[in-house]
Amino acid sequence: MNPRTTEMLICSSLDEVKRRESALRFIANLLKGKERSSLYDLSGLAGGFPVKESDLPLLETYSGPAIFSTYLQEEGKKHLGGDKVAAFNRTSAAILATILALVKPGEEVLHYLPELPSHPSIPRSVKLQGATYRETDNLQDFQLTPKTSLVVITGSTMDHRVLPLEDFHRIINISHEQQVPVLVDDASGARIRTVIYQQPRALDMGADLVVTSTDKLMNGPRAGLMAGKTPLINIIMEKAQQFGLEAQPPVIAGVVRALEDFTPQSLLNSLERRDHVYTLLREVMGGVEKTPTGFMISAATLQKEIIPGGEERSPRELATLMAMVLLKEHHLVTIPAVGMPGVSTTIRLDLSAADARRLDDSQIITAIRESLGRVKEIADDAETCLSILYE
């Protein structure tokens, strides 16, 4: 065995920060030399900033909120329902503000999701507040205690696993029987669940609060949009403003215009193409899975394809390496290459993304096939792997 095989490639969150910086440097250099059309963001998180020229004079500290906050209430309630809406600089910021406002040190947050693990922002926020945290994807283990002061439900996971409707209702009912408020983390679920799976909006099912990401499967800036009952929104926003977690006027303007522009049909149009590409991709590698708007390759699947029966490279290392090869050699953006530390290692390609319309199916299949071959070729060469990840 090549002695370099055992050298770890990703040892800490700091390494993940360096990986992300490397990916962003590559994107910056690519765009300096070529047009934006040379990059294909299929992450499903491409977002956008669709403000109008007439909006620009209003992107000020006070006139901006005066104008766009009114529009935000109108468009946000159309999208999410509820009595009142608030915008935050990220979904993670909305979650942190909620936990700071509703959970006291020593109390408990109980989190139910379709599949473990949770997004790291939730347990990290709970730890910061000095509370305790439990998560489960098994209804038999969903047991509130006298210390439980907030229940969080994930409607759709980072890998687009969607919570069944009957589980939603059951968890909300159990929580409300014990007078515990329910926050639904519907980052992408506010669109996947309602448009593709035709589930009701979270607040229409009785949840007290819901938060979504306005860059996930819609053309908005990276921001969090929360809706819910007015008293809860008020105390959460009070906490958000204490720590600068609220969205600023330019972001609110971008969110408003993205909500105005959102059309469910753009997601529905991707379904037929998804099925066709999925069929072709299964001929390239096994274990590929469909998502609501595309397909995904898990880190465990990659490990089986690249190192059958072996564990010389961890699933996270192989998935991150594959994502970086897709980026640097084929200019395809996926989440494991550009995501924050702790991001999902699953490689997802979203065919509802605007950039997907500039790629034909054969280009996507070729990129996957060649990247898979490249990772197989270099997996036991730590020096080359490190260069691709961090240089």
Q: HSE of 198 in the Cβ direction (CA atoms, 13 Å)?
A: 1
CA separation, residue 115 to residues 5, 38, 111, 139, 178 (Å) = 32, 35, 11, 12, 24
pLDDT number for residue 153: 97
The dihedral formed by the CA atoms of 332, 335, 339 and 341, expressed in degrees to the nearest 10: -130
pLDDT number for residue 165: 95
Residue that the structure tokens 């977002």 belong to? 47
Q: What element of type H or E holds 111?
A: strand 108-112
pLDDT by 10s per residue, the chain, length 391: 344 445 789 999 999 999 999 999 999 999 997 888 899 999 887 778 888 888 888 888 888 888 899 999 999 999 999 999 999 999 999 999 999 999 999 999 999 999 888 888 999 999 999 999 999 999 999 999 999 999 999 998 877 789 999 999 999 999 999 999 999 999 989 999 999 999 999 999 999 999 999 998 888 999 999 999 999 999 999 999 999 999 999 999 999 999 999 989 888 888 889 999 999 999 999 889 998 889 999 999 999 888 765 557 899 999 999 999 999 999 999 999 999 888 889 999 999 888 999 999 999 999 999 999 999 999 989 999 999 999 9
DSSP 7: S
Residue that the structure tokens 């397909």 belong to? 295
Beta partners for residue 88, in sequence order? 224, 246
- Strand-pair category, 224-228 with 209-213: antiparallel
Query: Could you give the CA distance from residue 104 to residue 229 in angstroms, rounded to a whole number?
Result: 20
Q: How many CB atoms lie within 10 A of CB 37?
A: 10
Q: How many CB atoms lie within 10 A of CB 314?
A: 15
* Secondary structure class of 183 (helix, strand, coil): strand
pLDDT number for residue 308: 66
- Side by side, the strands of the sheet bearing 108-112 are 84-88, 224-228, 209-213, 182-185, 148-154, 108-112, 132-136
What type of residue is 174? I
State the burial class of residue 161 (Cβ atoms within 10 Å of its Cβ: 0-12, 13-18, 19+): middle
pLDDT number for residue 267: 86
pLDDT number for residue 5: 46
* Secondary structure class of 233 (helix, strand, coil): helix
Of 299, 294, 306, nearest to 361 (Cα)?
Answer: 294
- Strand-pair category, 209-213 with 148-154: unpaired
